[in-house]
Amino acid sequence: MADLIVGIQWGDEGKGKIVDVLAKDYDYIVRYQGGHNAGHTIVVGDKKYALHLIPSGILTSHCINIIGNGVVIEPSALIEEMRQFGGEQALLGRLFISDRAHIILPFHQELDSSLERAANAIGTTKKGIGPCYTDKIARIGLRACDVRNFPAQRESIIARLQERVRTLKESNILDSSLEELVQASISSLESAHTILSPFITDTTSLLWEAQAQGKRILLEGAQGSMLDIDHGTYPFVTSSTTIAAGSCAGSGLAPRDIASVLGIMKAYCTRVGHGPFPTEDGKEFGALLCEKGAEFGTTTGRKRRCGGFDALAARYACRLNGCDKIALMKLDVLDGLEEIAVCVAYQYQGRKITYVPSDLENATPIYEILPGWAGESSKGVKSYDALPTNAKAYIARLEELVGVKIAMISTGAERSEIIYRYDCAI
């Protein structure tokens, strides 16, 4: 069976730390969607690791790490990321790439940048993620199997590249010449073939075999549920299925293979990029969260928008994902506050609602004010009983509002700064 970890806000919830903490109990860690526009920061002692494509289990020596077919891969980004773990020789046998994963090429990135200059920009990372997924859905993309077979299929692949880039050039979208973009794409594929080919395989069969052997599998998502292409704040979303349902399509496992779902959420909310964010606070509270929570993107360094906890969005996401339990992150960021506002309803079209509408931009938050624990600290606390009384009351209220038990509580960036409640085996 496989367990699943999923973000239930707008991403950046702290999934990487939880996967890192739990990885010791698993044999396989699988990343199943997204691209290098997502990032996990993991702190081990005095060292920070920034992960974008490689699963978080890479820091656990016995874990086999899989980049699934639902991921889109920019070869140079992956190769660079591999170097912080000793490069390809050190990772052989520990990292595998699905031969069905799609490949981001230079023209995807240039197209993404061009689209972001438009007046109705989404606020993407300009990494080429959306254009690559567009080609995937249009059935004209290149996959990792094409990388592996590049020398044998060189002429046909180049012809496909030329046709795709020519179509884009005729739309006056790209600045670089056809020759430049095609040559850059060929260079990317050649480099990827040389370095990545030993890692490319049928990872779906690999996972099926692991299941047959009774191995434990942990599925790791990127971004958050509120950025899901179907159920998020469209069109200000990512281009993949970020909720639990995407884990099957992006890995090759069946729904019946999923045993348990652990949702990850911060004790407050953040968002990167454009789009509705009802609890955003552009004043003192938001600035405090940003500073204390070090709310800057792992991938881009962009400052995150910050605000209070949105219980409606969290409850909505928990239902979408079928969360069994929750890990609550960054509780310590709220230390020192006299009171904390939590969104418990929206004002929408002249009435009070307690659900997430499809046009969330037209919803105004209605808050419940909870007492903080100023003068006390949760930082580094490792026992639930040792938390400040009002911190425990805050946690209990979030459980009531969201409808799911909080099984883990992070009280700092370190691996060890975590509280375990109930049965934390997911």
Residue 70, marked binder: no
Residue 135, marked binder: no
Q: Please indicate whether residue 12 is annotated as part of the active site.
A: yes
Residue 238, marked binder: yes
Residue 256, marked binder: no
Q: Please indicate whether residue 392 is annotated as part of the active site.
A: no
Instruction: Single out the catalytic residue among 3, 12, 281, 310.
Output: 12
Which spans in 138-202 are helix H? 144-148, 154-170, 178-196
Residue 304, marked binder: yes
Residue 302, marked binder: yes
Residue 17, marked binder: yes
Q: Which candidate, 266, 356, 358, places its Cα nearest to that of 304?
A: 266
Instruction: Single out the catalytic residue among 36, 102, 126, 136.
Output: 136
Residue 270, marked binder: no
Q: Which candidate, 127, 133, 148, 161, places its Cα nearest to that of 192?
A: 148
91 membership: H or E segment, kind and range: helix 88-91
Residue 81, marked binder: no
| CA distances to 50, 55, 324 from 260, in Å | 27, 19, 6
- What lies within 8 Å, CB to CB, of 60 at 6+ separation is 20, 23, 24, 29
Residue 382, marked binder: no
- What lies within 8 Å, CB to CB, of 350 at 6+ separation is none
Residue 319, marked binder: no
Amino acid residing at 293: G
Residue 209, marked binder: no
Give the torsion through C-alpha atoms of 393, 396, 398, 401, to 10 deg.
-120
Instruction: Single out the catalytic residue among 3, 20, 36, 40.
Output: 40
How many residues are present in the chain?
A: 426
Task: Considering only CA atoms, give the Rg of the chain.
Answer: 22
Residue 410, marked binder: yes
Q: Which residues of 152-176 are buried (b: 16+ CB within 10 A; e: fewer)?
A: eeeeebbebbeebbeebbeeeebee
Q: Which candidate, 206, 196, 202, 203, places its Cα nearest to that of 88?
A: 196
Residue 48, marked binder: no
Residue 251, marked binder: no
Q: Please indicate whether residue 25 is annotated as part of the active site.
A: no
Q: Which candidate, 307, 308, 310, places its Cα nearest to that of 345?
A: 310
Instruction: Show which residues are catalytic.
Output: 12, 40, 136
Please enumerate, by residue number, every residue annotated as part of a binding site for Mg(2+).
12, 39
Please enumerate, by residue number, every residue annotated as part of a binding site for IMP.
12-15, 37-40, 125, 139, 223, 238, 302
Please enumerate, by residue number, every residue annotated as part of a binding site.
11-17, 37-41, 125, 139, 223, 238, 298-304, 330-332, 410-412
